[in-house]
Amino acid sequence: MQIYLPIADLPVNVFLVLGMGLAVGYISGMFGIGGGFLMTPLLIFIGISPAVSVATVSSHIAASSFTGALSYWRKRAVDIALALMLLSAGILGTATGVWLFTELRALDQLDLVIGISYVTLLTVVGAMMIYESVRAILRTRHGMPATLRRPGSHTWLHGLPFKLRFKRSKIYVSAIPVWAIGFIIGFIGAIMGIGGGFLLVPMLIYFLRVPTATVIGTSMVLTLVTMASATVMHAATNHLVDAVLALILMVGGVIGAQFGARTGQKMRGERLRLLLGLLVFAVGCRFAYELVVKPDDLFSLRYVRSE
Amino acid sequence: MRRIALTLAVIALLSGAGPAMAERLVVSLSNHRVAVTSSFVGEELVLFGTIEPDPVTTPLRPPYDLVVTVTGPRQTLRTRRKERVIGIWVNVDSREFLRVPSYLAVLSNRPVNTIANPDTLRRLQIGLDNFLLPQRIGSDFADTVRDDPFRQAFVRLQTQQGLYRESSTAVTFLTPTVFRAAIPMPAAVPTGSYGIEVELFTGGNLAARTNSALDVIKTGFEQYVADAARDYGLLYGAVTAMMALLIGWFASVIFARD
């Protein structure tokens, strides 16, 4: 069944888009991430322009992270104080990102920046996750307990001023790295059309030593707010959010996420991280391939304005 | 811009005065309004027409050739070329095509280059190769030679999308003086006003011309969404974000049981 998308200005198959929503939703539920880094490339692949894809995916991620955030909220696994601190900087980051997105689009270099950011982020983060989870798996094999959080191990980050205590996460850290992380996630999310969950979770664990109990719930609240505001800002400045496309993606996404979450809960943490690391790394390599290999067509068209 | 307009006016005058008019074209379009709805997957319009003697007593001069040129609303588009820079492929060079048709179909009963000589075709802008596609070159505007790589790429990319086409089989003569032209409207057809130019040739010369028009419009829900996104961006974004929250909340309520 074909449906015409009013903003993307082309017809798509409803079941194909719904299926994509389901598949990405399943993965996002399984790993507790938004799944934007998978959805945006998929939309571009079916012919939707990168700009419309990035802008629309933000609303899709908002929907699926809201479902997730609600269920973590019920389990009291959200550190609201930490989320608010991250958010205050995240909104600024999103606004900066949307602004840069508009500028780069005018310069014809948006696709390149999106491409390079994907490659760098995904390959680096993917490789780090693979390395960390393989080590954890080997450690448990040798009978040692796998601990992510090493109490008492302080880094230079703990020496910074403006210290704050976050009760639910039981951490005492400076506001500076919290703000920096919030800003980076908001910024990257707006430019790349990703919620940044796969970046935020490791950052919170490794830099701030947030315990695993509250890290995913808190990250989902942050993702929810940055993506909801990215939707509004993209709609207000670039007029590129396709509500019809977003609706189909959301419906598929939230259903898929429920089933994914069940699969995820049955798996062991380090196995899950290894799988996610492999997935992230593979997507990164796919983008690298596209940048390096000579494209089939050296020319491309971009719409400037109607007369 | 003014120079182009002036050139066009002169061409129009010359061609109008040029051939001694002995024929008149009467055309009718199957539908003057193409509605793009949620189930729109493209459409084919049909233009019917007859060739009448003008004045009635003059004899007709068959065989005839017919060219129908359909142009969509004007747009400015940029053609970009990738080049390898430190190992990766980057958009380096680009040309802006100013006020070019978003849709351009050249339909005829046989290949246009066999209908008239190159000069005539060039003057009347018949065929994709001869249609005026002005580029911004520095501070000047001009249509370049037809084998300019940017122009070729532009036409090729538009053709790949089904927006530009040249068909030498789309016009069929039912009798020597009654013809039918099939105008394809692909799914990705831009909305707006379209112009249809019908040109009749005999013996390689323009014998008569007429024109018609059609509108492609978004209707109902599609129109509503597109207008809202353009005119009330902030509100539209807020509504989309609310929709996301609502769906997220629904899902958590439905699946909360297990």
pLDDT in tens, B8-64: 555 554 444 444 567 888 999 888 888 887 777 788 899 999 998 877 777 778 788
For helices A36-45 and A110-141, give the axis angle rounded to 10 degrees.
140
Of B38, B150, B237, the CB nearest to A236: B237
| Residue A224 forms part of a structural domain | yes
What are the structure tokens assigned to B94, written together?
A: 């680009």
ipTM, 2 decimals?
Answer: 0.76
Of A66, A244, A294, the CB nearest to B244: A66
In 3-state terms, what secondary structure has residue B131?
coil
User: What ranges in chain B are assigned the alpha helix state H?
Assistant: 2-17, 112-115, 118-124, 149-160, 220-231, 233-255
Of B41, B240, B248, the CB nearest to A2: B41
Interface of B with A in 107-146 (CB under 8 A): none
Type of residue at B165: R
Residues of A in contact with B157 (CB under 8 A): 297, 299-301
Residue B218: its H or E element: strand B205-218
In the predicted structure, residue B4 carries a pLDDT above the cut 70: no
In the predicted structure, residue A106 carries a pLDDT above the cut 90: no
Residues of A in contact with B240 (CB under 8 A): 59, 231-232, 235, 241, 243, 246
In the predicted structure, residue B108 carries a pLDDT above the cut 90: yes
Pairing of strands B192-202, B205-218: antiparallel
Least Cα separation, residue A241 to chain B (angstroms): 7
DSSP secondary structure, A7-66, as one string:
TTTEEEEHHHHHHHHHHHHHHHHHHTS--HHHHHHHHHHTT--HHHHHHHHHHHHHHHHH
- A39-96 pLDDT, tens digit per residue, is 888 898 888 887 888 889 888 888 888 888 887 888 887 888 888 888 888 888 888 9
The CB density around residue A220, as the number of other CB atoms within 10 Å, is 30
| Helix, strand, coil fractions of chain A, as percent rounded to 5 | 70, 10, 20
Contact A301 B88 (CB under 8 A): no
Q: Band the pLDDT of B111: cuts 50, 70, 90.
A: very high
| Residue A91 forms part of a structural domain | yes
Q: Are A30 and B207 in contact (CB under 8 A)?
A: no
Place of tokens 């393989």: A134
Kindly tell me the sign of the dihedral angle through the C-alpha atoms of A127, A132, A133, A139. positive
Domains held by chain A: number: 1
**B214 CB-near residues (< 8 Å, 6+ apart):** B29, B31, B32, B33, B34, B45, B193, B194, B196
Nearest CA in chain A to B78: A302
Contact B229 A301 (CB under 8 A): no
Q: Are A75 and A265 in contact (CB under 8 A)?
A: no
| Residue A217 forms part of a structural domain | yes
Does B96 touch chain A if contact means CB atoms closer than 8 Å? yes
| Residue A299 forms part of a structural domain | no
Q: How far apart are CA B244 and CA A220, in angstroms?
A: 14
Does B86 touch chain A if contact means CB atoms closer than 8 Å? no
| Residue A303 forms part of a structural domain | no
In the predicted structure, residue A167 carries a pLDDT above the cut 80: no
Q: Band the pLDDT of B6: cuts 50, 70, 90.
A: low
Contact A235 B240 (CB under 8 A): yes
**Which of A71, A118, A232, A263 should one mutate to test binding to chain B, selecting the residue with the greatest count of B CBs within 10 A?**
A232
Please give the pLDDT value at position B256.
67
Residues of A in contact with B187 (CB under 8 A): 2, 4, 10-11
Does B226 touch chain A if contact means CB atoms closer than 8 Å? yes
**B146 CB-near residues (< 8 Å, 6+ apart):** B129, B130, B152
Residue environment code for B116-148, b if the CB has 16+ CB neighbours within 10 A, otherwise e: beeebbbbbbbbbbbbebbbeeeeebebeeeee
Name the residue range of residue A170's domain: 2-143+154-292
Contact A304 B238 (CB under 8 A): no
Q: How far apart are CA A18 and CA A20, in angstroms?
A: 5
3-state SS record for B17-75: HCCCCCEEEEEEECCCEEEECCCCCCEEEEEEEEEEECCCCCCCCCCEEEEEEEECCEE
Is the domain defined by B18-218 classed in CATH 1.20.1090.10?
no
Type of residue at B161: Q
Residues of B in contact with A258 (CB under 8 A): 251, 255
Q: Are A94 and A190 in contact (CB under 8 A)?
A: yes
